Chains A and B, each alone.
Chain A
């Protein structure tokens, strides 16, 4: 990157380090931190949406729908999340390809599963084998986001289900007494009030989500763990301009610090949100705020 970096073998000390840390591969490493943040920022709202749908389904009076919502949360919780990640990435990919196969190649006669192979017609491949590299990478990332959202949606569903039941009955009864319909009661009374009850669970969930992001590595995305393994490995002078020993420990220590910072900052933000949401609520924290003002 710098002009003096043309011949790294002559460099020493800090100049060597400054060149080493700005190689193209290191830029990829830094960019992968952005990947993690982007994943978090997309997954959190989508998972919340899934969770909201799951919780609403579990509350439904229509039995099959309520069973569906409850099974969704129960199964995802009883099994290690890593197993789900590894399952969903292949399963979703195959499901999409199968659907496209049915639509695009209706007169295909051979079965899709042939022994140990999964065969769809060329037009149904996702992404198409002719597409450029970035499409493949984006598709892989999108699959990862969907997988994370499904798994964490189930956790969120459980939290929101609990929060919906925690809203005092009297509030809902009052709404009904004013002649609000079920739908109006749900959207105007229940939903605005449930967040303060959901917040401890959701903040906990966010922490778990943050700590699950390294699993992106297992889903085949080039994330920070991938780069740390790649860059930290022993490099000999034959294959690299910057030979060094096994630096895995240093790189993973860096990741450890990154995650510690991420969780500490999140904790601080959640504390602030809790204070905000407690304002004017009929809870102990809200009451304490009211008294403090007087």
Chain B
């Protein structure tokens, strides 16, 4: 079977399109690369949805934690504490167990027991907590002068937030937020190992990598392929976030902005 044929059969296998049976014997390199790459669709799906929704939720959560109102501040603090203080792995197991119990009484919760919704929800809440903490730190370190200048110009209320506070917060938080995005993508590899079942062998990249490692008893091929895909994904994230970061900093003297160093940007 040619490699082109393999790609046609398996490139979309992880979402149920193409050949139903996975290869069982005589695994070629092409099959491994194609299937693990196909699994990346899930990782990208989880990551994109969680980051896109988490960004807005985290802005709200950071504002709540920063607010003077106790009724907003305390719950936000507690939410952030719970999700940052416990392992994502346990959160996944716990959420799945809760959804299973809820499903028995309310059929509405049935879709939550599958990964596409349940795991996305957990990842979304998790990244909201971590991002909110980053944004909160940034809110606290907005230069006093900026706010005083806004007051002097009579900018108050909504415009004060959208034109002064929010852009400054994003600018300050951006490098740390880039890290959070990278680690969220890494965390998506946990999903199918933490309770959420894999239907019809439609799993993520790590699921297929461990499938091959189990079958061939040779970890030295599938895991480096997986690593290659993830490093590629990390580079894409760094590039996109770097562009956005540049856009956020465009009004500043350009010499002051250091280009993010790849090694240092992968830091957690």
Contacts and interface: CB of A to CB of B under 8 A. Distances in A.
Interface of A: 70, 73-75, 77-83, 86-87, 90-91, 94, 113, 116-118, 155, 158, 204, 208, 210-215, 217-218, 225, 228-229, 232, 246, 248-249, 251-253, 255-256, 259-260, 263-264
A228 B194 CA distance: 12
B210 interface: yes
Contacts of A211: 86-89
Interface stretch (B157-165, B183-191, B239-247): B183-191
5 contacts: A75-B227, A83-B227, A249-B101, A256-B82, A256-B94
Q: Which of A82, A204, A228 counts the most chain B CB atoms within 10 A?
A: A82
A263 B230 CA distance: 29
Contact of A79 (B85, B88, B96, B226): B226
Nearest to A77: B266
A80 B231 CA distance: 9
Nearest to B224: A87
Contact of B186 (A80, A228, A255): A80
B268 A113 contact: no
Contacts of B210: 86
Interface in B77-99: 81-82, 85-91, 93-94, 96-98
- The residue among A73, A81, A249 with the most chain B CB atoms within 10 A of its own CB is A249
A253 B82 CA distance: 12
Contact of B266 (A78, A81, A210, A253): A78
A74 B206 contact: no
A80 B206 contact: yes
B236 to A, nearest CB: 12
B248 interface: no
A118 B217 contact: yes
B219 interface: yes
B108 to A, nearest CB: 17
Nearest to A58: B263
Given A225-B90, A252-B97, A259-B86, A90 B209 contact: no
A217 B190 CA distance: 12
B218 interface: yes
B263 A83 contact: no
A80 B86 contact: no
A218 B186 CA distance: 16
A232 B97 contact: yes
A251 B96 CA distance: 12
B90 A252 contact: yes
Contact of A70 (B81, B85, B190, B263): B263
A253 B230 CA distance: 32
Contacts of A256: 82, 86, 90-91, 94
Contacts of B266: 74, 77-78
A70 to B, nearest CB: 7
Interface residues of B, number: 43
Nearest to A76: B266
Contacts of B94: 249, 252-253, 255-256
Interface string B233-268: 010000000000000000000000000001100111
Nearest to B185: A80
Contacts, number: 125
Contacts of A251: 97
Most chain A CB inside 10 Å of its own CB: which residue of B25, B187, B218: B218
B70 interface: no
B211 to A, nearest CB: 11
A113 B234 CA distance: 33
Interface string B205-235: 0100110010111111001001100110010
Nearest to A266: B85
B104 to A, nearest CB: 8
B93 A83 contact: no
A138 B217 CA distance: 22
A293 to B, nearest CB: 28
Interface string B152-193: 000000000000000000000000000000000011011001
Contacts of A228: 93
Contact of A86 (B206, B231, B262, B267): B206
Nearest to B216: A116
Contact of A77 (B93, B189, B206, B268): B268
B189 A82 contact: yes
Contacts of B186: 79-82
B147 interface: no
A251 B210 CA distance: 27
Given A80-B189, A87-B219, A256-B90, 16 more contacts: A77-B268, A78-B234, A79-B227, A83-B206, A91-B220, A113-B218, A116-B217, A158-B263, A158-B267, A204-B268, A210-B87, A248-B97, A249-B101, A251-B97, A252-B93, A255-B93
B206 A259 contact: no
B91 A86 contact: no
B100 interface: yes
A70 B262 CA distance: 12
A83 B230 contact: yes
A155 B85 CA distance: 19
